[in-house]
């Protein structure tokens, strides 16, 4: 591995594709010498195609491959094509990019609250499988319980699913409904990732609860 985080452009073979639900899958690709900080993303495309999209890296920092957790967006150009690729298919990647990462210093002296919708859990999965010892809480907004994906990789007491689509054993409602059930932790650093509607609502709520903007990090998917 190189020891800087300068973005590179590489071609990688798909090593594996695994379907977690009818709509969401994990693609594993060759890492080559890409060095990343957990929470960063890659820009992905097919060689000779002009369309590219950003995907957060899902796996932990010392794995010798890269993984992406992707939902097939209805009529989506790239996600629907990625869903049907095979082992050995070549993809082109550029990166890593992004600042949705833990602080470089005093990582372990902070409390963290991660709030995601859907595949917005991906960068959080990379961060927490890389740094399992930090003090964290996760609030994950999903439509159905299957979208908890690989939540058993997290400390169970610290993972809260908020399910909107069906009634289940999980909290029923949006992440903002759940957040309002208790006062936000004034000392925590917040990481929000996923759709912009959630990120805007939660950011406004946290700001109204006197959380300083410097402690609210966001990664907007769409």
Ligand X SMILES: Cc1cc2nc3c(=O)[nH]c(=O)nc-3n(C[C@H](O)[C@H](O)[C@H](O)COP(=O)(O)OP(=O)(O)OC[C@H]3O[C@@H](n4cnc5c(N)ncnc54)[C@H](O)[C@@H]3O)c2cc1C
The DSSP 8-state label assigned to residue 207 in this structure reads H
Q: Which of residues 43-62 bind ligand X (CB under 6 A)?
A: 53-56
Binding mask 157-196 for ligand X (x = CB under 6 A): ----------------------------------------
Q: Which residues contact 138 (CB under 8 A, 6 or more apart)?
A: 113, 114, 115, 116, 121, 124, 128, 154, 158, 159, 160
- What's the closest the beta carbon of residue 199 comes to ligand X, in angstroms? 11
Residue 182 burial by Cβ neighbours in a 10 Å radius (0-12, 13-18, 19+): exposed
Binding mask 92-131 for ligand X (x = CB under 6 A): --------------------------xx--x---------
Q: How would you label 84-102 residue by residue, b for 16+ Cβ within 10 Å and e otherwise?
A: ebeeebebbbbbbebebbb
The DSSP 8-state label assigned to residue 152 in this structure reads G
State yes or no: residue 69 binds ligand X (CB under 6 A): yes
Q: Which is nearer to ligand X, 66 or 161 (CB)?
A: 66
State yes or no: residue 76 binds ligand X (CB under 6 A): yes
Residue closest to ligand X (Cβ): 76
- What's the closest the beta carbon of residue 41 comes to ligand X, in angstroms? 4
Q: Whose CA is closest to 53, among 28, 70, 29?
A: 70
Q: Which two tokens stand for residue 176?
A: 């903002």
Q: Which is nearer to ligand X, 61 or 185 (CB)?
A: 61
Stretch that binds ligand X, among 69-77, 108-116, 145-153, 177-185 (CB under 6 A): 69-77
**Interacting residue ranges for ligand X, rule: CB under 6 A:** 41, 53-56, 68-71, 73, 76-80, 118-119, 122, 219, 221-222
């Amino acid at each position: 591995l190189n020891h800087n985080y300068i973005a590179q452009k590489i071609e990688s073979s798909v090593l594996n594709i695994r379907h977690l639900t009818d709509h969401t899958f994990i693609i594993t690709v060759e890492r080559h010498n890409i060095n990343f900080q957990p929470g960063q993303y890659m820009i992905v495309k097919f060689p000779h195609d002009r369309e590219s999209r950003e995907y957060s890296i899902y796996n932990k920092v010392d794995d010798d491959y890269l993984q992406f957790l992707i939902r097939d967006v209805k009529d989506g150009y790239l996600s629907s094509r990625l869903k049907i690729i095979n082992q050995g298919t070549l993809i082109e990647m550029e990166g890593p990019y992004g600042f949705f990462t833990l602080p470089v210093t005093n990582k372990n002296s902070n409390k963290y609250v991660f709030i995601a919708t859907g595949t917005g859990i991906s960068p959080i999965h990379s961060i927490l499988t890389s740094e399992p010892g930090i003090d964290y809480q996760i609030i994950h907004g999903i439509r159905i319980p299957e979208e908890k994906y690989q939540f058993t990789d997290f400390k169970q007491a610290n993972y809260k699913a908020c399910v909107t689509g069906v009634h289940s054993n999980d909290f029923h409602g949006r992440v903002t409904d759940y957040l309002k059930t208790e006062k936000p932790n004034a000392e925590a650093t917040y990481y929000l990732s996923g759709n912009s509607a959630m990120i805007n609502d939660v950011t406004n709520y946290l700001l109204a609860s006197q959380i300083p903007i410097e402690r609210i990090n966001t990664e907007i998917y769409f």
